[in-house]
Amino acid sequence: MEPVLTVAARSVTVSGAATLLSASWSLPLAYLAATRPRLRPLAAAAEGLVGVPTVLVGLFLYFLLSRRGPLGGLGLLYTPTAIIIGEAVLVTPLLVAVSYRVISAAVSRYGELALALGASDTEAMEIALREAAPGLAAALVMAFSRAVGELGVALLVGGNIRGYTRTLTTAIALEVSMGEFEAAMRLGLVLVAIMVFVAAAARAARRLTGDEAG
């Protein structure tokens, strides 16, 4: 069996990269939907897609990245990059939906007030985003937690290759399939510990930032 710390480190790295990749397009989309009424259907669509099964996302990406698929020539199937792309796609609806609500509330409460007090559009945007930052950080933590805890995408496009694409969730599935339930439980506890640690660290950072601002 591959060392637990190695698998855990790979899971954190892959899911962290996927979360950041998703944020690169999800946060701008959420901001545009919050500030341009004609784009609000994007947020509604994202909310509707939050619960899409991970296996469907994995299956769709498998067809895209397989040798006969339109992106098969890139050679990404069964690589960590494929998992990163898959998890980024998976968490996009969640990140857009939550970020939209956070940004909408900040724009309505602080942005409009700033404009009424004479701030420019740019200044009002900066104020609204600054006030929305804690909520956006929470949205990123939620997206990471979903990414690190998913199985379908990692298994279908990653292949659960020992020493290369095996993550905590695929390792748990493997141990269960072999009847090694105690090993699977230990891996599960590591996974839960990572989620709790990330959430606690994010909360501590928000609290520290708030104290410094105050």
How far is 40 from 210, CA to CA, in rounded Å? 30
Which range among 52-56, 83-87, 117-121, 207-211 shows the weakest confidence by mean pLDDT?
207-211
The closest alpha carbon to 174, from 23, 47, 4, 34, belongs to 4
Give the pLDDT of residue 209: 57
* 3-state secondary structure at position 160: coil
Q: Which whole number is the average pLDDT over 80-92?
A: 96
Percentage of residues in the chain having pLDDT higher than 70: 93
Is the distance from CB of 76 to CB of 30 less than 8 angstroms?
Answer: no
Q: Treating both helix axes as pointing N-terminal to C-terminal, what angle do 80-106 and 4-35 enclose, rounded to 10 degrees? A: 40
pLDDT (tens digit, 9 = 90+) per residue, 172-192? 999 999 999 999 999 999 999
pLDDT band of 208, cuts 50, 70, 90: low
Largest CA distance in the chain: 67
CA distances from 141 to 70, 164, 201 (A): 33, 25, 10
Q: Which CATH architecture has domain 4-213?
A: Orthogonal Bundle (1.10)
Residue 210: exposed, middle, or buried by beta-carbon count in 10 A (0-12, 13-18, 19+)? Answer: exposed
